[in-house]
């Protein structure tokens, strides 16, 4: 099984992102899909303990199911993902610190949007454009955050990037804001 290598600063940044989810939503009795969830399954189980049902999706482990948690390794194959979640619908689909790693994030959103419940939403976070220099400095010069993950960044986000993503997916921006001193972004799409 693959385990993400996060140091304390990476973990702090991830913790601050997860707080944004809780600021925007009550997770109690919700059906959640967390795409790009990573491999810290104990932390995820605790974070989502009030949820009704949790589907975790990434490419970091073998499939498993326990109680109300299901993990799917989508094998980096979006058609496989479409097939395996075909009968499920979710209240919140989360892509936290994921879209900046994707060449075409609209592809995954266009697949997953058909899996939103009637009042379902996407919750996205991504590093803001102001953070590029800081993240690269921390990763490559100071070596205090995971440089492999920073190297994977395809783009950094601001409202204009989310407007473009919204148009490519026919989704509406319900809420957009910056957090972490303007270095990170959050967006709710429906």
Token code pair at residue 135: 């993240």
Position 176 pLDDT exceeds 90: yes
Beta bridge partners of residue 127, listed in sequence order: 184
CA distances from 173 to 122, 161, 166, 190 (A): 10, 11, 7, 7
103 located within any domain: yes
Q: Mind listing the pLDDT tens digit for each residue in 112-169?
A: 999 999 999 999 999 999 999 999 999 999 999 889 989 999 999 999 999 999 999 9
2 located within any domain: no
Query: For strand 69-73 and strand 64-66, is the pairing parallel, antiparallel, or unpaired?
Result: antiparallel
**Are 34 and 55 spatial neighbours (Cβ–Cβ below 8 Å)?**
yes
Residues 71, 60: Cα–Cα separation, whole Å: 10
3 located within any domain: no
Number of domains in the chain: 1
21 located within any domain: yes
18 located within any domain: yes
139 located within any domain: yes
**Are 69 and 57 spatial neighbours (Cβ–Cβ below 8 Å)?**
no
Token code pair at residue 34: 């967390």
**Are 16 and 96 spatial neighbours (Cβ–Cβ below 8 Å)?**
no
1 located within any domain: no
Residues 188, 176: Cα–Cα separation, whole Å: 7
- pLDDT tier, 1 (very low <50, low <70, confident <90, very high otherwise): very low
Q: Mind listing the pLDDT tens digit for each residue in 91-118?
A: 999 999 999 999 999 999 999 999 999 9
Domain enclosing residue 104, as ranges: 8-189
Position 2 pLDDT exceeds 50: no
Q: Mind listing the pLDDT tens digit for each residue in 16-35?
A: 788 999 999 999 999 999 99
128 located within any domain: yes
Q: What is the pLDDT of residue 17?
A: 84
Q: Reduced to 3 states, what is the DSSP secondary structure of residue 105?
A: helix
Angle at CA of residue 111, ends 97 and 114, nearest 5°: 110
Query: For strand 69-73 and strand 53-58, is the pairing parallel, antiparallel, or unpaired?
Result: parallel
**CB neighbour burial string for 33-53, b if at least 16 within 10 angstroms, e if fewer:** bbbbbbbbbeebbebbeebeb
Position 3 pLDDT exceeds 60: no
Q: Mind listing the pLDDT tens digit for each residue in 26-78?
A: 999 999 999 999 888 888 999 999 999 999 999 988 999 988 999 999 999 98
CATH number, position 15: 3.40.50.150
Q: What is the value of pTM for the model shown?
A: 0.93
């Amino acid at each position: 099984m693959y385990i993400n290598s996060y140091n304390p600063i990476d973990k702090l940044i991830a913790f601050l992102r997860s707080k944004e989810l809780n600021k925007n939503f009550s997770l109690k009795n919700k059906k959640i899909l967390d795409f790009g969830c990573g491999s810290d399954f104990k932390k995820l189980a605790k974070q989502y303990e009030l949820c009704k049902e949790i589907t975790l999706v990434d490419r970091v482990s073998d499939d498993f199911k326990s109680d109300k948690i299901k993990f799917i390794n989508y094998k980096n194959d979006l058609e496989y993902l479409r097939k395996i979640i075909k009968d499920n619908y979710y209240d919140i689909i989360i892509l936290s610190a994921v879209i900046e790693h994707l060449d075409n994030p609209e592809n995954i959103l266009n697949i997953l949007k058909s899996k939103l419940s009637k009042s379902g939403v996407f919750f996205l976070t991504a590093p803001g454009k102001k953070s590029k220099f800081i993240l690269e400095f921390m990763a490559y010069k100071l070596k205090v955050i995971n440089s492999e993950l920073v190297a994977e960044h395809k783009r950094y986000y601001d409202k204009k990037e989310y407007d473009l993503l919204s148009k490519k997916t026919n989704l509406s921006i319900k809420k957009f804001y910056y957090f972490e001193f303007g270095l990170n972004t959050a967006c709710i799409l429906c």
